[in-house]
Amino acid sequence: MQIEAAVLRSPARPYAVEQVDLPDPGPGQVLVAIAGTGFCHTDVLPRVPGFMAPPPLIGGHEGAGVVTAAGPGAPVAVGTPVVLSFDSCGHCEQCLSGHPAYCAQFFRLNLTGRGATGAPTARGGDGTAISARWFGQSSFATHALAGPRNVVPVAADLPLELLGPLGCGIQTGAGSILLALGVQAGSTVVVYGVGAVGLAAIMAATIAGATTIAAVDLHDGRLETALELGATHVVRGDSDRLVKELVSITRGGAHYALDTTAVPQVIAAGIDALRPTGTIGLVGAGAREIVLAPSALSAGKNVMGILEGDAVPQVFLPRLIELWQQGRFPFDRLVTTYPLSEIERAEHDAATGAAIKPVLVPGKG
Ligand SMILES: NC(=O)c1ccc[n+]([C@@H]2O[C@H](COP(=O)([O-])OP(=O)(O)OC[C@H]3O[C@@H](n4cnc5c(N)ncnc54)[C@H](O)[C@@H]3O)[C@@H](O)[C@H]2O)c1
Ligand SMILES: [Zn+2]
Ligand SMILES: [Zn+2]
């Protein structure tokens, strides 16, 4: 069918909002009319020369909307409101053990833009083949095709245009705290970088009952937002006394930390500011090498890479929605909406920090 999509035609060029031909839903697939789709930092990776998802490509991996067509055997019916998340194979050891974010096919299914077939699935008006399976959805568009494992049905009475970011950035921050790190009540937590992922982590640490929650960033406005969302302390990331201050705030080092900055010096400081046996989770994309002295981890310290908060989206997203309904997880405060046609402005505002979580709304004029 003919849809309108923001197509990245080459790494350095602006997106082109154009008509694209998308195939009908195949077995297990659904076509979703997109109500809103978040802009995540991972969406800029196809702009990096040599990255595994070459343009032309339709990005977007935080879509939410309503199913308008369903292929044979699709898990949800036409008319169902859904949030779209990451894709997984469903039959590897990690998928079968309840850890689909560590699926053996994660990179192929999500980060090549081409999915399991390895081929572009959409066509531009000029006949060009366009990759349209980015994170199993490619939702910078009026419509997206999703597979059986990355569609999450939700209740009918929700503000669908705001829910897309639950599918990646918000799930990553909250899941890292509640699922991957398993933060305990009464513990101490430091979150490095309080953009969308870090602020979701701050809210989740509050829910988990952590009693000391420190936020670290270079952006004073974001530190202010962190305090409003549950941080008990804030520290500037460029402080010369960063480690000392955090060790003092946490009375001997943090039990848990989460790095969302991907800055090697910040990660190294985060390891130093852990208490013995503490764990730091790393979620930032594109980090360069970290140089560590052999003794840096000797006090039983742990470093854990985390994808998508180690969540099962169909289980975790409904929980986050319920916490939001109870007023305990106000992620909607992070959202700024833009028409799909203003995707360049959304990308710019995400890069400068002017918007914490831009959400593109195809229906917004
Ligand atoms: N692992 C996953 O599954 C997953 C999922 C979603 C996003 N991500 C990645 O997580 C990262 C964070 O995403 P986001 O949307 O929150 O991005 P963001 O840019 O909004 O947040 C990063 C924050 O780090 C801060 N920062 C940068 N340098 C700093 C420094 N030296 N000291 C302190 N703070 C510093 C920035 O000011 C910013 O507020 C990105 O790299 C994104 O690609 C990973
Ligand atoms: Zn798998
Ligand atoms: Zn993402």
Q: Show Cβ contacts of residue 173 under 8 Å, excluding neighbours closer than 6 positions.
A: 196, 197, 198, 199, 200, 201, 202, 203, 204, 258, 260, 283, 309
DSSP state, residue 176: I
What is the sign of the dihedral through the CA atoms of 67, 141, 358 and 260?
positive
* Separation of CA 300 and ligand 2 centre (Å): 31
Distance in Å, CA 260 to ligand 1 centroid: 4
Question: For a pocket test of ligand 1, which of 217, 238, 263, 312 has the largest count of ligand atoms closer than 8 A to its C-beta?
Answer: 217
| Ligand 1 closest atom vs CA 196 | 16
φ and ψ at residue 76, rounded to 5 degrees? -130, 155
The DSSP code for 117 is G
Among 261, 135, 247, which residue's Cα sits nearest to residue 195?
261
Q: Report how far ligand 2's centroid is from the alpha carbon of 268 (Å).
A: 32
Tokens of 345: 């402005």
Residue nearest to atom 32 of ligand 1 (CA): 237
Ligand nearest to the CA of 197: 1
- From the CA of 97, which ligand is nearest? 2
- Distance, C-alpha 344 to centroid of its chain: 19
pLDDT at 365: 72
Cα 45 to chain centroid distance, Å, stands at 13
Q: Give the domain ranges of the chain.
A: 2-167+330-361, 173-307
Judge whether 144 and 32 are in contact, CB under 8 Å. Answer: yes
Residue 249 neighbours by CB under 8 Å, 6+ apart: 188, 212, 214, 233, 235
- Distance in Å from the first CA to the final CA of the chain: 22
pLDDT score recorded for residue 363:
84
Instruction: State in Å: Cα 226 to ligand 2 middle.
Output: 35
Q: Which ligand is nearest to the CA of 92?
A: 2
Q: What pLDDT is stored for residue 286 in this prediction?
A: 73
Which of ligand 1's atoms lies nearest the C-alpha of 356?
20
Q: How far is the CA of 117 from the centre of ligand 2 (A)?
A: 15
Q: Helices 242-249 and 264-272, interaxial angle, to 10°?
A: 40
Q: Which CATH superfamily includes the segment(s) 2-167+330-361? A: Medium-chain alcohol dehydrogenases, catalytic domain (3.90.180.10)
DSSP strand pairing (63-70 vs 81-84): antiparallel
Tell me the β-bridge partners of 152. 83
Give the nearest ligand 1 atom to 198 CA: 16
What residue ranges line ligand 1, CB within 6 angstroms? 40-42, 168-169, 172, 192-198, 216-219, 222, 237, 260-263, 266, 283-285, 306-308, 353
Give 351 Cα–ligand 1 centroid separation in angstroms: 10
Nearest CA to ligand 1 atom 17: 195
33, 143 contact by CB (below 8 A): yes
Q: What residues contact residue 57 under an 8 Å CB cut-off, 6+ apart?
A: 7, 8, 46, 113, 130, 131, 132, 134, 138
State the ligand closest to the CA atom of 193: 1
Q: Whose CA is nearest to atom 6 of ligand 1?
A: 169
The Å distance, Cα 103 to ligand 2 centre, comes to 4
The answer for residues whose C-beta is within 8 angstroms of residue 247's C-beta and 6 or more apart is 253, 273
Residue 151 three-state SS? strand
Question: pLDDT per position in the chain (365 positions), as tens?
Answer: 999 999 999 999 999 999 999 999 999 999 999 999 999 999 999 999 899 999 999 999 999 999 999 999 999 999 999 999 999 999 999 999 999 999 999 999 999 999 999 999 999 999 999 999 999 999 999 999 999 999 999 999 999 999 999 999 999 999 999 999 999 999 999 999 999 999 999 999 999 999 999 999 999 999 999 999 999 999 999 999 999 999 999 999 999 999 999 999 999 999 999 999 999 999 997 768 888 888 999 999 999 999 999 999 999 999 999 999 999 999 999 999 999 999 999 999 999 999 999 999 998 87
- Residue 357 near residue 167 (C-beta atoms within 8 A): no
Q: How many whole angstroms separate alpha carbon 65 and alpha carbon 162?
A: 10
- What's the CA gap between 75 and 127, in Å, rounded? 32
Question: Which atom of ligand 1 lies nearest, measured to the CA of 261?
Answer: 24
**What SS3 state is found at 337?**
strand
Q: From 175, 181, 157, select the one nearest 270 (Cα to Cα).
A: 181
CA–centroid distance, residue 3 to ligand 1 (Å): 32
Pick the CATH number of 173-307 from 3.40.50.2300, 1.10.287.3510, 3.40.1010.10, 3.40.50.720: 3.40.50.720
Nearest ligand atom owner, CA of 45? 1
With tokens 């309080």, the residue in question is: 194
